[in-house]
Structure 1
Amino acid sequence: MDLSIVIPCYNEVDNVTKIQTELFPVVHQLAQTQAVEVIFVDDGSRDGTWQAFTTAFQQVDQPPNVTLKFERHPVNRGLGAAIRTGLAAAGGDIIVTTDSDGTYKFSEIPTLLSYLTPDVDIVTASPYHPQGGIKNVPKYRLILSQGASALYRILARWNIHTYTALFRAYRRQVADDVPFESNGFLGGTELMINAIRMGYTVAEYPTVLHSRVNGTSKAKLARTIKSHLRFQLQVVLPWHPYGMLLQGSNDNVYLYTNFQKRLFPSAGVFLSHGYAWNQIIRVSDQYLAQLDTGLPMTFREGTLVTGADKTVYWVEHGQKRPIKSAEIFEGLGLRWENVLTVPPEVLDSLETGPEINSLERHPDGALLKTAGDETVFRLENGQKRPFNTVQAFLSWGHTWEQVVTVGPGELQLYPTGLPVVPQKSFYGEYGDVTGIKIEGQARTRPLANLGTAIHTLFSKRPLQIKPKF
């Protein structure tokens, strides 16, 4: 499949004729040179949209290389959830998302796609670009959309003028790799911001935003403003690795992965994976009890730890390997600020391995590069595995401060293994977490900084900060 067009719909029965007369001629034009699928996602409509769409569109004669798909949410879950469902159902190498109400003209899809050059990963419609425009759009909608985009320009990337448009084209890898959690109107913005933070390239297509002709807008102004404000605060905070972190009524924190909850036995283990306390989601004990239990989490390979005796250890294959001296430590290019101090009982739980007393080779878990090449490698089982993209590196919670620059001679000692692929997000692998019940009466913990205090102003539930272990 070459091209997928995803169209979220909610109570859009009045737009059946518009889609028939304006969308399908464009689809048939595109299908002359490639296979095209059109995916309609009915987000729990209550006006007969599902029946109207499936009945009307299935009766339209389609060329052999045009496929129609219909996805349905039993209840209204929001635009973000509909986008996520559509992206998951899409099989195209390129995916276009667009509004069902024609606020961006369907006839402009080919032009939008022309901006997706080989060096671009996302193209977004941009009415706020100097060459774009607005036609008959209510002022209250512009206050939200223009105001939010102006703030995102400051926080993310100044040369992008519009962050709130649904009308976009994505490469397949973006849809597969970039996580976004919002189920509401924030979803599309969150997807693009996270893609930018992961190193993907965004181009703008200057165009005109029109007022919808049929039906009414589904955006809830106050709720959408609040969600944007909360997310804008997150944008200024560091990027954290993928994964769903869960906590019940006690202090235990779990990573939910591969349909199992895995306990972090200590704060040191939690921090070694690059996670942050404000990623933790409080859920009901009943929900946690329903999840299968996996093996406890362990320190990530290459974690530097120390205890009361000030000896610094390198964690490798479940063992703590003492580093012989400060000269060896610094000679290996390691940094003191990357050393985690852990309680004696945590350190004692690790078996002691062979001493690190040589500068010739780095142990497994090391992140290496050479001065003449920006490619970063992770050592695993004696092999060097390259990170071919920035997003692959960041998705595992690594930081650039952990990377050691070595000479080309040492790098040649390690055979090259397979590239490290981006860690999949919870949402990307398993879909939206509809079964999680967020607890509204979580215990208040001391706020770590001003940023978390501001976050709490926009949140009905207290932000979870550093649980005890």
Structure 2
Amino acid sequence: MKKVSILVPAYNEAAYIVQTLQAIRRHVPCQELIVIDDGSSDQTSELAGGWADQVIRLPVNRGKGAALKTGWREARGDVLLFLDSDLRESAMHANHLLHPVKAGWCDMAIAKLPSPKRRAGFGVAKAVARHGIRYLTGFDPTAPLSGQRAVRREVLESLGRLDDGFGIEVAMTIDALRAGYRLLEVPVHFCHRESGNNLAGFLHRGRELIAISRSLGVKWREGR
């Protein structure tokens, strides 16, 4: 039987982390649940400690990619499941993402989330990621930025250089496809906090776009 490690990167998620971890504990069987606190200044680590098997606390905020890489180096599972910390009760649906990998149908399963209740931004980051992946691999993803993924350890061990920030999913997708692994996008009824059409939301999406563009540039140079 394949062992499952669940990795939850978190940054200042005290408002949501307990609900997310409770849902995982109640509904998603796993051998270990690891939270990677990416330099939070709130009580994320303390709250997570009551539910996670291990809390890795980074001294400073290094970015989502760095947090995930730190976590999977510590994980012992044959299958690793990445879940965002703000999924709250919807994290209970993670078995739908795990099953295709555990059953051998694919090497990496990527969650396709329902359409957001409100439109935020102009979809530039997603469009850049989608077209970049298609140009570099021929694969046309519908969820190029989804951070909810189940993946076999072997895939992770084969990956090249990955972005420390929000570009990690794009780079992971490209590397896995180039190595010949099978990817499957799976509809899962996850929901998470949506960024708004305010200054904070636009700044977040701007940082995301920069990281995605950086990752695409790196993978383009590697593939030349």
| Counterpart residue number, 2:51 | 57
Which residue identity is paired with 2:6? Answer: I
Distance 1:222 1:203, change over 3 A: same
Asked if 1:80 is matched to 2:65, the reply is yes
TM-superposed CA distance for 1:78, in Å, is 0.2
Match of 1:118 among 104, 107, 110: 104
TM-superposed CA distance for 1:86, in Å, is 1.1
Asked if 1:100 is matched to 2:85, the reply is yes
TM normalised by structure 2 equals: 0.84
TM-superposed CA distance for 1:120, in Å, is 1.6
Return the alpha-carbon distance in structure 2 between the equivalents of residues 224 and 21 of structure 1. Answer: 29
The secondary structure found in structure 2 opposite 1:220 is helix
The sequence identity of aligned pairs, in percent, is 26
TM-superposed CA distance for 1:141, in Å, is 7.4
Aligned positions, number? 218
| Counterpart residue number, 2:43 | 48
TM-superposed CA distance for 1:162, in Å, is 1.7
CA deviation profile, 1:390-413 (whole Å, cap 9, x unmatched) = xxxxxxxxxxxxxxxxxxxxxxxx
The secondary structure found in structure 2 opposite 1:199 is coil
Distance 1:11 1:138, change over 3 A: farther
CA deviation profile, 1:18-62 (whole Å, cap 9, x unmatched) = 1244222113xx2xxxx52101000000112112222x326xxxx
TM normalised by structure 1 equals: 0.42
Asked if 1:179 is matched to 2:179, the reply is no
Structure number with higher helix proportion = 2
The secondary structure found in structure 2 opposite 1:125 is strand
TM-superposed CA distance for 1:190, in Å, is 1.0
Asked if 1:230 is matched to 2:224, the reply is no
Q: Report 1 or 2 for greater relative contact order, CA contacts < 8 Å, sequence distance ≥ 6.
A: 2
Distance 1:141 1:179, change over 3 A: farther
TM-superposed CA distance for 1:104, in Å, is 9.1
Asked if 1:201 is matched to 2:182, the reply is yes
Greater mean deviation of Cα atoms: 227-236 or 191-200: 227-236
* Native 8 Å contact 1:137 1:209 kept in 2: no
Q: Which of structure 1's runs of 4+ aligned residues deviate more than 6 A? A: 216-219
* Native 8 Å contact 1:146 1:162 kept in 2: no
The root-mean-square deviation of aligned C-alpha atoms, in Å, is 2.8
| Counterpart residue number, 1:91 | 76
Distance 1:154 1:162, change over 3 A: farther
Which residue identity is paired with 1:42? Answer: D
* Native 8 Å contact 2:16 2:88 kept in 1: no
TM-superposed CA distance for 1:185, in Å, is 0.6
Return the alpha-carbon distance in structure 1 between the equivalents of residues 18 and 89 of structure 2. Answer: 16
The secondary structure found in structure 2 opposite 1:57 is coil
TM-superposed CA distance for 1:119, in Å, is 4.7
Match of 1:69 among 20, 41, 54: 54
* Native 8 Å contact 1:41 1:70 kept in 2: yes
CA deviation profile, 1:330-349 (whole Å, cap 9, x unmatched) = xxxxxxxxxxxxxxxxxxxx
| Counterpart residue number, 2:16 | 15
Distance 1:152 1:213, change over 3 A: closer
TM-superposed CA distance for 1:152, in Å, is 2.1
Show the 5 A alignment for 1:147-296.
Answer: 147-208=128-189, 210-212=191-193, 220-239=204-223
Which residue identity is paired with 2:91? Answer: F
Return the alpha-carbon distance in structure 2 between the equivalents of residues 104 and 170 of structure 1. Answer: 22
| Counterpart residue number, 1:38 | 33
Q: Extract unaligned runs of 5+ from structure 2.
A: none
* Native 8 Å contact 1:126 1:162 kept in 2: yes
Distance 1:3 1:137, change over 3 A: farther
Return the alpha-carbon distance in structure 2 between the equivalents of residues 103 and 14 of structure 1. Answer: 10
* Native 8 Å contact 1:3 1:95 kept in 2: yes
* Native 8 Å contact 1:101 1:213 kept in 2: no
The secondary structure found in structure 1 opposite 2:51 is helix
Return the alpha-carbon distance in structure 1 between the equivalents of residues 18 and 190 of structure 2. Answer: 20
The secondary structure found in structure 2 opposite 1:203 is strand
